[in-house]
Amino acid sequence: MQPLRIRAWLECGVISDRFLPLDSVLYYHAMREKYGEQLVTFPGADHELRNPSVSLPIARCEEHGPMWYYAASFAQWPEAVASGSDHWNCRFDLSLVDLVDWQSRKARVEVASGPMKSYHMPVFYLHALYVDWFLFAHRAGVERLLPFITQLGKKTSQGWGAVSRWEVDPWHTDWSVRDDQGSLMRAIPSNEGLFIGFRPSYWMPKNQAKCLLPA
């Protein structure tokens, strides 16, 4: 394994907070590569009971304890980064009302509730030319998974978070957890701090604890 800098060159904004952990994205694609396309995250269920977790080509910190985490930094955004908001909309196309089989009901499109409800939902995004991560990992293993990551963040089906290309470069030292100045680069479990995920899948309660966070 070796210290690496991973850079994603972005085509548009990313709907995400500033943390955007890359180990989570790599984990998703590693699971999909092993088990194929299937629904594994049923509400209230532990998907790792249905499909055992995969191991990423990234070193593990505190590996011999229950609070281990990957040697992978959170996203490191450049100084020139813009933040903004937009909306996604969903509404019934009234020009198609004659195509609906109303059966014995009155022809009425209810847009305030129900399956035809209209939406005007805000989304918040970050936009920069690129975003970096620092890993201590097997380079070949990471490079094998990166081509599958064509987009980052949420609402990718609407075109957000498109990645134009990836770059993987050796780094002079391991910045996956702390940089040369000792600044924290990712969440690490601690007796104090905020309650947050510290390894993939970040949304699972068993992978959440009090953590120290980057400034």
Q: Which residues pair with 168 in a beta bridge?
A: 6
Per-residue pLDDT tens over the stretch 95-124 = 666 666 667 766 666 666 766 677 778 888
If we measure between CA atoms, which residue out of 2, 14, 60, 5 comes closest to residue 200?
A: 60
Q: Which residues of the chain have a pLDDT value below 70?
A: 38-52, 92-102, 105-112, 114-116
In eight-state DSSP terms, residue 80 is S
The ranges assigned to domains in the chain are 2-81+128-212, 87-121
Which amino acid makes up residue 174? Answer: D
If we measure between CA atoms, which residue out of 183, 178, 185, 207 comes closest to residue 195?
A: 207
pLDDT value of position 89: 76
pLDDT value of position 215: 83
pLDDT value of position 100: 67
pLDDT value of position 20: 92
pLDDT value of position 184: 92
CA–CA separation, 23 vs 8, rounded Å?
Answer: 14
pLDDT value of position 159: 84
3-state secondary structure of 96: helix
CA–CA separation, 191 vs 210, rounded Å?
Answer: 6
Per-residue pLDDT tens over the stretch 10-30 = 988 898 889 999 999 999 888
For the beta carbon of residue 182, count every other beta carbon within 10 angstroms: 6
